[in-house]
Amino acid sequence: EAQVTQNPRYLITVTGKKLTVTCSQNMNHEYMSWYRQDPGLGLRQIYYSMNVEVTDKGDVPEGYKVSRKEKRNFPLILESPSPNQTSLYFCASSQGQGVGTEAFFGQGTRLTVV
Amino acid sequence: AQTVTQSQPEMSVQEAETVTLSCTYDTSESDYYLFWYKQPPSRQMILVIRQEAYKQQNATENRFSVNFQKAAKSFSLKISDSQLGDAAMYFCAIPYGKLTFGQGTILTVHP
């Protein structure tokens, strides 16, 4: 089954404790990205990757890191989480960045930083 | 850059009736698409319907249809014969490189 898998689905952590949210896709997609969803703001792009070893900032990259060592995996790293990073996070993948290309989303990770 | 605005934070509808969710957008591109995503309580993002900007005919997918007004930059979603399973958050989005989303509209369906 074609899918994007994120883990964990729920995470509660304390301020400053490094964490990683994993994302894996099995569709051989080139393009992957991370979004965060906040009430009243919709989803906003954090980082994206057009291919292996190629990553770039989205609209809200502060406080996050990513890596793309393999085509299928695109982990999101919070080196020192803060309460303002409490949010719902989505990983997405697509075949490319072409006009109208559909993105496929993971199930989301609800992160709470206390 | 693209912007998308959904001015209705919440909407409600009675089962079997029709509801329309509003979306306005802005883009400088001439060739683009518009999407509506559904996010049920499971949090899964589901693409409900898409519209190609150069097509004058409004897209339709079963009970879901759009009213695309290109000059007004408006892209509303109409849900006919609403069902309890339609209850969700709905997002309007422009896929151009990244996805640019609106703020979302929570739809409640009353039995």
DSSP string, A28-73: --SEEEEEEEETTTEEEEEEEEEETTEEEE-S--TT-EE--SSSSB
Residue A97 has pLDDT above 80, yes or no: no
User: B56-104 pLDDT, tens per residue?
Assistant: 899 999 999 999 999 999 999 999 999 999 999 999 999 987 899 999 9
> Count of residues for chain A?
114
List the single range of A5-14, A64-73, B23-32 with lowest mean pLDDT. Answer: B23-32
Backbone angles phi, psi at A85, to 5 degrees: -95, 5
pLDDT reading at A114 higher than 80: yes
> CA of B36 to nearest chain A CA: how many angstroms apart?
11
Q: Residue A2 — very low, low, confident or very high, per pLDDT cuts 50/70/90?
A: confident
Question: What per-residue confidence (pLDDT) applies to A74?
Answer: 98
pLDDT in tens, A37-88: 999 999 999 999 999 989 999 999 999 999 999 999 999 999 999 999 999 9
Note which residues in 51-90 of chain A have CB less than 8 A from chain B. 58-59, 88, 90
Using CB atoms, pick whichever of B6, B52, B91 lies closest to residue A100. B52
| Cβ contact B46:B40 at 8 Å | yes
